[in-house]
Structure 1
Amino acid sequence: METIHGVGEFDAALSNNRNILAAHFRAEWAPQCAQVETSLLELSKNPDFKDLQVVNVEAESVPQISLKFGITAVPTVIIFRKQLEVDRVNGANPAELVNKLKKQVGRLANERLQTTQADFDDFGDTDGESLEDRLKRLVNAAPCMIFMKGSPDEAKCGFSRTLVSILNNHQADYKHFDILSDEVVRQELKKFSNWPTYPQVYVKGDLVGGLDIIKEMEASGELDSILPKKQDLNQRLSALTKSHPVMIFMKGDPRTPRCGFSKTLMEIMAETGVAFKTFDILQDEDVRQGLKVFSKWPTFPQVYVNGELIGGLDIVKELKASGDLISTLQGA
């Protein structure tokens, strides 16, 4: 299995691959990476996966690549088909990894046989899920869903950019789906919604319309009445920090920490025997960014006792060394 140490090596591996490439972003300090690496190595030797190429990418040695592909924790496996990202698996989940790679291998075989209907059934769905069920699941994924080109922070067309601006001005609470990342959804959602253009806005699973409709509703004063509103972030963060006597904001969870600092903190906490609750900041970008401002502490993990910030890993280490950690965690 090839290990990538530089940008040039990665670009070459990607450009030379015409089938399926699984890029495993890993780090030596994370034991979960060895489990993922073993799974990938076994798959690469399986004749059923003859179209699969596997590479290891040392995530911290090539920050340019990690940043480009949004790698925030290891292990992460990005699946490329014909040089385009089609899926990814976060964390050590061999069953999910095998399932997703199997689907991409099957889809590649189907393309060769020109059986396009099978493409629709196997592209990015869950087991046994039809295309129609998948689209229903997507439009109901949040009280307000927008299907756009790009993301709210990096819209890929003027219509999407304008829509995001309007929704943000109205403090709308919404999630998005980038149609450029999934050609099947991009084409089939037009039929599903009977709406030929993007962006598209859904509220409670029902299509509201595109940018023109949103503009009309804004002009008439109707828009505020249908949009779910964002909860005040500071109120939410205050409630989260107080949701348990010892509250830890980390990358991953106690069983599968997804950065070295979080892993070390979990080892220390296990030694104390003190009960605690965790919040995975990788699952909520608002909390991840907002908590830095709320706490005036720029890094993670963060430890709170009775709603008050104790600090990060370095502070916990200092408290342990001084013998004050357990009493501090107990609120003494």
Structure 2
Amino acid sequence: MVLRDILQKTEFEDTISSDDLVVVHFYADWAAQCGPMNDVLEELAKQAELKCVKFAKCPAEDLPEVSLKYSVSAVPTFLLLRSGSLLDRVDGANAAELTKKINLQVSKCSNITSPAPAKPAAQDLTSRLHGLINSAPVMLFMKGTASEPKCGFSKSMVALLDSHGALYKTFDILSDEAVRQGLKSYSNWPTYPQLYINGELVGGLDIVKEMNESGELQKLLPKKTTLETRLKSLINQSKCMVFMKGSRDEPRCGFSKQLMEILREAGIKFDTFDILTDEEVRQGLKTFSNWPTYPQVYVKGELIGGLDIIKELKESGELLNTLKGES
């Protein structure tokens, strides 16, 4: 089963109207965690016991009406729906919680007289383990999750990775006994946590500690993009960048609508970012620029101001030069 792409509102409505369980991943191409989570959905779609589940992905910023309706303010976000009704959701890149909630919904609609599913063949488990290990550049198999470790060793490993600002994904081996036991044989490593980098086993906590002390670990770990770095990248995405509620064609507040009219009249080229689709950007940009309201206009990475400032510049005849970065 493939991971279906939803690119239009009508496609979304048609997909979620199914009597089957539908899992929709709201993603953005710039969000580092979304790619690995798409890989997780691909792996889940291959499982025989989930053959009745439809998996899809939807670009949150391209479908603002849908994102707004379902309160999708950050990515990745996962909605579990059936017959158009929202059953559950997972906010953030939490593969273990997502798997648990999907299995729970599947079990609710399963016929209690149905025979138990056959255990996967050894080859199927091997393929699954290979897929999980390679589902992210840095993969940690642990007890619990990064936010809620279930043993001291896992907690120490998470703290070590976080101290380097590492970008990594976790799998809760307590949620899947087949993976828990199978991975021991697959990698010939009897204990947890187990850390993998680029599909290769690094080792457990003791090995990782030794690598950390030698300075070798830090060189191998990909780093998270900080919010400040991301905001700087966004405000420099275009020579004239507007952060607003909605899009240029569908503003979601009166101030944003007025601003679009003024900018169109000025004939200036500009790009927009819908802050309703990303709560992290919405709140972070207020602090970053020390400007508490929206819309916000940036030229060459520098804040010009909001609607009132733009109106003042228009009245004084300075708007066009300002937006061109010539003032």
2:79–2:88 contact (8 Å) kept in structure 1: no
Separation (CA, whole Å) in 1 of partners of 2:178 and 2:275:
28
- Deviation by residue 1:29-57 (Cα, 9 ceiling, x = unmatched): xx95x87566544537xxxxxx99xxxxx
**Alignment size in residue pairs:** 250
Percent identity reads 40
- Deviation by residue 1:247-302 (Cα, 9 ceiling, x = unmatched): 35679988999xx56x9858964882654445688999986776554333567775
Aligned residue among 221, 224, 228 for 1:227 = 221
CA spacing shift, 1:87–1:209, aligned 2, 3 Å: farther
Aligned residue among 88, 109, 113 for 2:115 = 113
CA spacing shift, 1:286–1:330, aligned 2, 3 Å: same
1:246–1:329 contact (8 Å) kept in structure 2: yes
**2:149 maps to amino acid:** A
Equivalent residue, structure 1, for 2:168: 175
User: Structure 2 regions of 5+ residues with no counterpart?
Assistant: 1-7, 21-51, 54-70, 93-101
Separation (CA, whole Å) in 2 of partners of 1:137 and 1:193:
14
CA spacing shift, 1:221–1:76, aligned 2, 3 Å: closer
2:164 is the alignment partner of 1:199:
no
TM-score scaled to structure 1, two decimals?
0.50
| Superposed counterparts of 1:58-207, under 5 Å | 72=73, 77-78=79-80, 104=106, 108=110, 112-117=114-119, 135-169=129-163, 171-179=164-172, 183=176, 186-187=179-180, 189-207=183-201
CA spacing shift, 1:223–1:89, aligned 2, 3 Å: closer
2:244–2:273 contact (8 Å) kept in structure 1: yes
User: Structure 1 regions of 5+ residues with no counterpart?
Assistant: 1-30, 45-50, 53-69, 91-99, 122-129
CA spacing shift, 1:220–1:131, aligned 2, 3 Å: same
What secondary structure sits across from 2:19 in the alignment? Answer: helix
Separation (CA, whole Å) in 2 of partners of 1:251 and 1:214:
45
TM-score scaled to structure 2, two decimals?
0.50
Higher relative contact order (CA 8 A, sep 6+): 2
**2:218 maps to amino acid:** D
Aligned residue among 172, 189, 210 for 1:216 = 210
Give how far 1:245 is off: 0.9
Equivalent residue, structure 1, for 2:290: 296
Q: CA RMSD in A?
A: 5.7
Separation (CA, whole Å) in 1 of partners of 2:193 and 2:274:
30
Give how far 1:208 is off: 0.7
1:147–1:200 contact (8 Å) kept in structure 2: yes
Equivalent residue, structure 2, for 1:309: 303
CA spacing shift, 1:318–1:237, aligned 2, 3 Å: closer
Separation (CA, whole Å) in 2 of partners of 1:276 and 1:149:
48
2:16–2:81 contact (8 Å) kept in structure 1: no
What secondary structure sits across from 1:145 in the alignment? Answer: strand
| Superposed counterparts of 1:6-25, under 5 Å | none
Separation (CA, whole Å) in 1 of partners of 2:121 and 2:231:
42
